[in-house]
A = this chain, B = another copy of it.
Amino acid sequence: MPVVVTKVERPDVVVVEGLGRAGVATVHEAQGRRGLMSNRMRPVWHGARMAGTAVTISSPPGDNWMVHVAIEQIRPGDVLVLAPTSPCGDGYFGDLLATSAMARGCRGLVIDAGVRDVADLEAMGFPVWSTSISAQGTVKATLGSVNVPIVCAGAAVEAGDVVVADFDGVCVVKRAEAADVLAGAEKRLAAEESKRKRLAAGELGLDIYGMREELAKRGLKYV
């Protein structure tokens, strides 16, 4: 069953970049609160943010052979998304693989496992979200698959989906929905701007959102 899917449809780069600018929290809201990975998934260095199209990797625990296979499938603007077939915190990825991935135009890595050489990754400016940091190396002994559907940190991901990541976490947007989600995200950002000004001026959310009546009706008492 090990397979590499070589043909992947990708959404328009303008859409991907728009989603990246909107950020994880806004994108997640704009698509109806779907697609968020677990909060175990954290950036390995401070300040990282990225958006790209997924090249997916399904790998055995403690085995990074398929990462080498996946790197050949990278097109500029892609990100690698790896889920082990059973829970594993080992360091699948370090500075050599990052060097290779960057040379192919890769924008970053999302991995439900560990990475190493983290100081180098930060110095190189290669963004990574992982669920572990570990110097523990992996073997190259068992096949996996590339660009098949995976579940990564609780979110379903297919090759060509958009992956948005920042300090708030990682969110996946289905390829076919990406343009619509961007439109929703931009509308949301615009609406937030006016609210931010009113709140900064001291107006209360209770008044802006007209909550007082409903709170009273439900029985909230002030004592």
Contacts and interface: CB of A to CB of B under 8 A. Distances in A.
A211 interface: yes
Interface string A28-72: 110011101011001000110100000000001111010011011
A193 B202 CA distance: 44
Given A39-B114, A168-B116, A89 B91 contact: no
Contacts of A119: 47, 49, 166-168
Given A100-B199, A143-B218, A91 B168 contact: yes
- The size class of the interface chain A forms with chain B is 35 or more
Interface of A: 1-6, 23-25, 28-29, 32-34, 36, 38-39, 42, 46-47, 49, 60-63, 65, 68-69, 71-72, 85-91, 94-97, 99-100, 102-104, 114, 116-119, 132-137, 139-143, 149, 151, 154-156, 166-169, 171, 192, 195-196, 199-202, 204-206, 209, 211, 215, 218-223
Given A69-B220, A85-B136, A154-B154, 8 more contacts: A4-B222, A28-B137, A38-B87, A39-B136, A49-B119, A86-B136, A100-B205, A135-B169
